[in-house]
Structure 1
Amino acid sequence: MFAVGADGSPTGAGPVPADLAAELAALLSSADDPGQPGAVQVLPRPTRQPGKVLLAGVGPGDEAGWRAAGAAVIRTVRPDEPLQIQLLAGVPADALRGLAEGLWLGGYRFRDAPKGPRTTEITIAAGESQAYGQSLETARVTAAATWLARDLANTPASVKNPAWFAEQVVAEAATRPGLTVTVREPEQLAAEGFGGILAVGGGSATPPRLLELSWDPGPASRHVVLVGKGITFDTGGLSIKTRDGMKLMKKDMSGAAAVVAATLGAADLRLPVRVTALAPLAENAVSGSAYRPGDVITQYDGSTTESTNSDAEGRLVLADALAYAVAELRPDVVLDLATLTGANSVALGKRTAALYSHDDALARSLAAAGEAAGERMWRLPLPDDYLDYLHSDIADRHSSPTRGAGSVVAALFLSEFLGDQLDRWAHLDMSAPSWAEQDDADLSQGATGWGTRTLLRWLPTA
């Protein structure tokens, strides 16, 4: 449990006074248990400053409990109300990181919302420790990257299209040394054979792009390629979605947002691993130039796909990006993140992503990073006999089998494009956890930025 003093005076939070620190320490010491994670008790202090004290529960005291407490506290106080946080001695650095992440993530508000960003001044009294400083900086970068991913996904499709998304990333990269950006436009995509991206984006008035963002710290032992699905809006194409199925499809580029934000975060943290993020960007629209069910598409690797459902578009753009990564980038590890299937939520619910990999060690390390970050995932199988579901009479494969196991078969489709990287690849189907219907612990209503925090935890160990 920890204590927070909330003071509505205009003078700001300032240092925690000695008498208040003693009072809070006494309250904390007399508490019988650490409290349910995220539970907050408000104790009024009439005629005194601060005017109230909040006791926040951290449960067993793990990082997740501290994160939940931080998010609950920031939602309990009024906007722009300064906070003074008093921690007991001996709080570990990872707990302080969780607390700080919770405060920042729970306080998120979409940058273009009518009220604008929320501002709260916070003072934390936690003793002197260099480890605390590093923990706070890591939390700040992680939260900022997650905010960016959320902002990108929350932006309406009336603003957000492939060109706009690429422009945002170019502007962000320009503020950080060690980053390079390449944006392939339609002419270059056609010349180099990115048939899947061109097909999916062919029905829109805003043409597709392939964004390549690279962080290179110099001599690095590993090269990680992150691929994120970047469908800036998905109508379903000619296989048009229902009204309810379409209304949140501005979030269908959440995978691209996560891999881009994580790469920018890697540069901010100066992580000693080379990272390349690939974001195939397209708007899947309905028009006379839209691709059709039954079309045969030539992918980047020269193989062919029969498109049997134009609403199975994400795997077509990812296939091009994965094939390009294997052929040209010489990665040590390839990860892809995608809001790929509704079957993900049917199997695992709203808070858990599906994890696929042939590499047991890679799967374990990703799951551990997700657990630490508060982004849960569950590993599902890649059975070889299900590959028969992809059979096509007129192409090397078809895109959308009518039989079951939708998320598994989508992952198997992607596995066709990994070549000799198949055993060093993982796929995260994160459609369900990419969006929150309401505030929930460290999630704010709307886009969650899912995957950004996991990647920033995992990359240093990749």
Structure 2
Amino acid sequence: MLTIRLAPRRAVSGVLALPVAGSGSTDLARPRDDVALLPEDAAAEAAALVDDADNPGRAGATQILPRPLRRPERLLLVGVGAGDEAGWRAAGAALARQSESTARTVALPPDCDPSVVRGLAEGLWLASYQFVAGGRRRRRGAITVAVDGHERYADALTQAKATVEASCLARDLTNTPSSRKNPAWFAQQVQQAATSRPELSVTVRGPRELAAEGFGGILAVGGGSATPPRFVELSYRPRGARTHVVLVGKGITFDTGGISIKTLDGMKLMRKDMGGAAAVAAATIGAADLGFRTRITTLIPLAENAVSGGSFRPGDIIRHYDGATSEITNTDAEGRLVLADALGYAVRRLRPDVLVNLATLTGANAVALGKRTAAMYSDNDTLAGAFADAAAAAGERVWRMPLPEDYVAYLASDLADLYSAPTQGAGSVVAALYLREFTGDLRDRWLHLDMSAPSWSDRPVDELAKGATGWGVRTLLRWLATVD
């Protein structure tokens, strides 16, 4: 991971980055003594460059001023937009994509809010991420963040680092090819992470336990694969916890669509179909690293949806953990089946205060909201509002969608309690309504995030690297930090 150090402001040689405010203001760009210690010629040149640039304060915009044989040798003017945490996150991401071979100093305004340091650091670290064959590439280099009273920003930097490490863990898990990433491998990764953190414990159920306890959805989806399914229960139980949160993440390690097989284009990125599982596992580990006071139980149903003589079929009826039955209408709507088991288990066995699930559930999410926004469903206005606030602070977008009661009739089956995937349309909405049927008396304390589209980025943009985004980790950690 890129090294970020806090230090008092000082005269700088090498490369110095200076902030530029947006909204037409160039106050921050003028390198005054209270921002950085600059010789007069550098200050004048920076001011002239800003005056001549087009919208230099736009968050993430960069202007480069070489100054050979002088100090500093190069100035980087980086836009911070409105100067809020989001603007500084974008600025950090832009700086991370500059040359990595040179040590750099970023000068911050005096008495800035700690959120400035958090946003800058998150942007620097997240945009530095790169996954290559065999794992994550470790980015070398160092950046000094120069600000007076730097000691008071140490906690913000610590929070940023733990958040980014969790996000990058989720990215690593999601980016890993499915030739390596099967249910047993994923469960092992969670066990290994928990081993180094005594406040975490893990229980893993294999096929025998799943059959004995009645996890019919997980067994059906995983029945066609040579690599059997797993059900991971990750627990974080800090002393004095007053609230119990259960997180559930869809963990389909590869999705062929089963007998309702996908096209090649629809299948080639299906290693990301466990993005929800990666997010909830990584967020729980991050919560433990940050010492949160909330009890968290994380449930991860893991299966590979493959095609063989053992695959489940359209027309099959499966019985879930809570006793409800589903008539299968499309084997490519498999994620909701494993989630139904996990939700039923949470309600019957754990009885938490809040129940939250994340899933790369539907392509309809992207049709409605595009690549950067997750669909959010909840009957609880307070819970939905808290999540929307957390997502906004984290830089991950959500949009609350409706749960129309008249659409529940679409789920009615003649042979079972529910159709697994009705064909009347409104794919993301109906999938959410299906999941709600398994929340029992926690229905008014449940929230569902359909995050298939934002779990993957086709190109580097802002703080996102190409590939898995780790979407949801930052939102979950921001939300969990507010839970009493």
The answer, yes or no, to whether TM exceeds 0.5 is yes
Matches within 5 A, 1:9-408: 17-18=10-11, 21-23=36-38, 26=43, 35-48=57-70, 50-77=72-99, 79-110=100-131, 112=133, 116-408=137-429
**d(CA) in 2 for partners of 1:100 and 1:205?**
43
Q: Distance in 1 between matches of 2:72 and 2:449?
A: 46
Indicate conservation of the 8 Å contact 1:16/1:84, yes or no: no
Partner of 1:410: 431
**Contact 2:129-2:137 at 8 Å conserved across structures:** no
The answer for unaligned runs of 5 or more in structure 1 is: 1-11
Asked if the contact 1:34–1:61 (Cα under 8 Å) also holds between the matched residues in 2, the reply is: no
- 8 A contact 1:161–1:232 mirrored in 2: yes
- CA shift at 1:391, angstroms? 1.1
Equivalent AA in structure 2 for residue 43 of structure 1: L
**AA at the equivalent of 1:56:** V
1:6 match: none
Counterpart amino acid of 1:375? E
Moved more, 20-29 or 156-165: 20-29
User: Structure 1 residues 159 and 284 mapped into 2: Cα distance closer, same or farther (>3 Å)?
Assistant: same
CA–CA distance in 2 between the matches of 1:387 and 1:439?
Answer: 40
CA deviation digits over 1:140-196, x for unaligned, max 9? 000000000001000000110000001111111111121001111110011110000
Q: Distance in 2 between matches of 1:236 and 1:76?
A: 41
Structure 1 residue 111: deviation in Å?
5.8
Letter in 2 for 1:380: M
So what's the TM-score if we normalise by structure 2? 0.90
Quote the Cα distance in structure 1 between the aligned partners of 2:319 and 2:213.
12
Quote the residue 1:9 is aligned against: none
Residues of 1 paired with 2:72 and 2:259: CA distance?
A: 60
**How far apart in 1 are the matches of 2:110 and 2:457?**
35
Instruction: Check conservation: 2:7, 2:145, Cα contact below 8 A.
Output: no
Q: CA deviation at 1:362?
A: 0.2
Superposed CA RMSD in Å reads 2.0
CA distance in structure 1 between the partners assigned to 2:141 and 2:372 by the alignment: 28
Following the alignment from structure 2 to structure 1, what is the Cα–Cα distance between the partners of residues 152 and 207?
48
Q: Which whole-Å deviations, capped at 9, do the CAs of 1:56-92 have from their partners, x for residues lacking one?
A: 1001111100000000111022x34322111121221
The change in CA–CA distance for 1:134 and 1:353 in structure 2 (over 3 A counts) is same
Q: Which runs of 5+ in 2 are unaligned?
A: 14-35
SS at match of 1:187: helix
Q: CA deviation at 1:248?
A: 0.4
- From the superposition, tell whether residues 394 and 461 of structure 1 become closer, same or farther in structure 2 (CA, over 3 Å): same
Change in CA separation of 1:417 and 1:13 when aligned onto 2, cut-off 3 Å: closer
- Secondary structure in 2 matching 1:136: helix
The letter for the 1-side match of 2:81 is G
| Pair 1:141–1:29, CA change in 2 (3 A) | farther
Q: What fraction of aligned residue pairs are identical, expressed as a percent?
A: 62
| Distance change (3 Å), C-alpha of 1:335 and 1:14 | closer
Q: Give the TM-score taking structure 1 as reference length.
A: 0.94
Q: Higher mean Cα deviation, 129-138 or 58-67?
A: 129-138
Cα distance in 2 for partners of 1:169, 1:66 equals: 32
Partner SS, residue 22 of structure 1 = coil
Shift of 1:51: 3.2
AA at the equivalent of 2:436 = S
